[in-house]
């Protein structure tokens, strides 16, 4: 693999590459994110942003209690989020554990949702604490069951101990396994990496290793997709594009529960990575409760009043 010519796969070259990154000033990054959060998005631009956000949702269920019935219900919602309004776009993908991939793919295809992807969380999600053969088998299972997107977790223990090459090699191996069959999203669990310097480092590491998307969190650890963390990741994909002419996607996940939060994310994208990233193929929002709030706000904008929650489906 060429790794965009940035590294040669050796520990030394990876360290040189990562050490060349500029630091992140935490206070400055927080200030920029909170300034962008003051953008006032109203009327036509709000309506546009709601539909864009819906199409970017990775509708997620990651519970021990997931059953085929639950997953099928989620798939139905993913294809037609509002059964009474066919102008509502489908979401980007459904996101499930690997044993539910087959169920999801089959049901989506059955109900005319072949355009909706199936993302499988992988590599011993959410902790990433397993041997590499187990992680490979985990991913292979999902791919064989029809996953079109793999959301792998990095080994945070290795990362925090400075063993970047292990993290890098794991991503490279999963990337090779995915081949042309699936997009690879790399989850950092930024709540465990803690510093913005680490978030930037992880971003550049994952991108060089072949990630198609970089993703904040599993949704199992708080804090998750905070605005400054997403800002730092969006700066990383922007700069990586300048270096390689390749656009890497970003997926915040965890903690984005309402329309206001989602629109703030879109503003961050617009004013950081730029409008080229305002597409579901380069920006996704991992969420479950968010979709219903987007639908409520959409109805409010079209009808002029808030409908009873009974008009939005629960899944």
Cβ of residue 272: shortest distance to another protein, in angstroms? 9
Which of 106, 110, 104, 50 has the alpha carbon at shortest distance from 81?
50
Q: Does 194 help bind another protein (rule: CB under 8 A)? A: no
Given candidates 278, 300, 313, 315, which one binds another protein under the rule CB under 8 A? 278
Q: Does 38 help bind another protein (rule: CB under 8 A)? A: yes
Q: What are phi and psi of 126, to 5 degrees?
A: -95, -10
Please confirm, yes or no, whether 151 is among the known catalytic residues: yes
Which 222-241 positions form the footprint of another protein (CB under 8 A)? 235
Cβ distance 146 to 182 under 8 Å?
Answer: no
Stretch that binds another protein, among 184-192, 201-209, 274-282, 298-306 (CB under 8 A): 274-282
Which residues does 226 contact at the CB level (< 8 Å), separation at least 6? 33, 190, 255
Q: Give the single-character DSSP code of 59.
A: E
- Size of the residue set binding another protein (CB under 8 A): 29
Which of 272, 217, 216, 196 has the alpha carbon at shortest distance from 37?
272
Q: Does 42 help bind another protein (rule: CB under 8 A)? A: yes
Cβ of residue 163: shortest distance to another protein, in angstroms? 24
Q: Does 22 help bind another protein (rule: CB under 8 A)? A: yes
- The residue annotated as part of the active site, out of 58, 82, 138, 151, is 151
Which of 75, 122, 68 has the alpha carbon at shortest distance from 100?
68
Given candidates 3, 14, 17, 32, which one binds another protein under the rule CB under 8 A? 32
Q: Does 49 help bind another protein (rule: CB under 8 A)? A: yes
Answer whether the bond into residue 126 is a cis peptide, omega within 30°.
yes
Q: What are phi and psi of 307, to 5 degrees?
A: -80, 160
The rounded radius of gyration (Å) of the Cα atoms in the chain is 19
Q: Which residues bind another protein (CB under 8 A)?
A: 22-25, 27-29, 31-32, 38-46, 48-49, 52, 235, 266-267, 270-271, 275, 278-279
What are the catalytic residues?
Answer: 151, 215, 251
């Amino acid at each position: 693999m060429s790794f965009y010519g940035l590294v040669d796969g050796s520990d030394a070259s990876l360290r040189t590459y990562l050490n060349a990154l500029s630091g992140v000033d935490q206070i400055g990054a927080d200030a920029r994110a909170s300034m962008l959060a003051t953008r006032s998005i109203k009327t036509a631009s709000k309506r546009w942003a709601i539909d864009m956000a819906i199409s970017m949702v990775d509708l997620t269920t990651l519970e021990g209690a997931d059953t085929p019935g639950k997953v099928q219900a989620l798939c139905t919602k993913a294809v037609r989020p509002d059964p009474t309004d066919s102008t509502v776009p489908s979401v980007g993908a459904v996101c499930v554990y690997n044993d539910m991939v087959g169920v999801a793919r089959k049901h989506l295809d059955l109900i005319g949702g072949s355009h909706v992807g199936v993302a499988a969380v992988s590599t011993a999600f959410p902790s990433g604490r397993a041997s590499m053969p187990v992680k490979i088998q985990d991913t292979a299972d999902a791919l064989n069951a029809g996953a079109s997107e793999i959301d792998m977790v990095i080994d945070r223990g290795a990362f925090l101990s400075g063993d970047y090459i292990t993290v890098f090699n794991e991503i490279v191996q999963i990337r090779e396994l995915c081949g042309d069959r699936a997009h690879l999203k790399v989850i950092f669990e930024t709540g465990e990496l803690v510093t913005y310097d680490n978030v930037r480092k992880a971003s550049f590491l994952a991108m060089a290793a072949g990630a198609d998307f970089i993703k904040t969190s599993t949704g199992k650890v708080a804090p998750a997709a905070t605005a400054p963390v997403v800002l730092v990741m969006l700066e990383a994909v922007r700069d990586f594009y300048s270096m390689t002419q390749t656009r890497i996607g970003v997926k915040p996940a965890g903690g984005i529960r309402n329309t206001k939060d989602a629109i703030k994310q879109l503003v961050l994208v617009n004013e950081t990575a730029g409008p080229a990233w305002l597409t579901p193929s380069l920006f996704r929002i991992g969420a479950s409760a968010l979709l219903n709030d987007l639908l409520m706000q959409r109805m409010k904008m079209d009808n002029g009043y808030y409908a009873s929650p009974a008009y939005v489906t629960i899944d």
